[in-house]
């Protein structure tokens, strides 16, 4: 069973994402509500994938995404905005607009 770390600062959305991960057939790690907690958790548990909210209050999750990429852990940015509005760097950056569907998440997990 694949494991998915969830980083989302909104508690209700985090719980919804955790439920979607389980429905897609994966184990939930977290959910984490801050990049610092997510970093500590990912270091310890090494997820197969990370779903990370792009906007975390007054900052973004790009630093955590850089750490994930440097450690070979694939990730997907989640945003409530249009994906074209985000200014993210890097090759193969995946962005999903909220709300995320179980079908889309299952497809991503299948192609890991």
Q: Where are the domains of the chain?
A: 3-110
What confidence category does residue 89 fall into, taking pLDDT thresholds of 50, 70 and 90?
low
pLDDT score at 93: 79
The answer to whether residue 91 scores a pLDDT higher than 80 is no
Query: Which whole-number Å values give the CA distances from 90 to 12, 56, 65, 70, in the listed order?
Result: 30, 19, 10, 12
The answer to whether residue 90 scores a pLDDT higher than 90 is no
Percent of the chain with pLDDT over 70: 89
Span 64-93, mean pLDDT? 80
Better-scored residue on pLDDT, 13 or 82: 13
What gap in Å lies between CA 111 and CA 39, rounded to an integer? Answer: 24
Q: What CATH number labels 3-110?
A: 3.40.50.2300
Percent of the chain with pLDDT over 90: 78
Span 1-21, mean pLDDT? 97
The answer to whether residue 83 scores a pLDDT higher than 80 is no
What gap in Å lies between CA 83 and CA 73, rounded to an integer? Answer: 21
Better-scored residue on pLDDT, 3 or 93: 3
């Amino acid at each position: 069973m694949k494991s998915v770390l969830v980083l989302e600062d909104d508690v209700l959305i985090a719980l919804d994402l955790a439920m979607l991960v389980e429905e897609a057939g994966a184990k939930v790690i977290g959910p984490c509500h801050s990049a610092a907690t997510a970093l500590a958790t990912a270091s310890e548990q090494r997820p197969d994938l990370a779903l990370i909210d792009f906007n975390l209050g007054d900052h973004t999750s790009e630093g955590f995404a850089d750490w994930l990429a440097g450690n070979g852990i694939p990730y997907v940015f989640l945003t409530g905005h249009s994906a074209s509005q985000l200014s993210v760097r890097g090759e193969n950056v995946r962005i999903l607009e909220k709300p995320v569907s179980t079908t889309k998440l299952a497809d991503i997990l299948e192609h890991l």
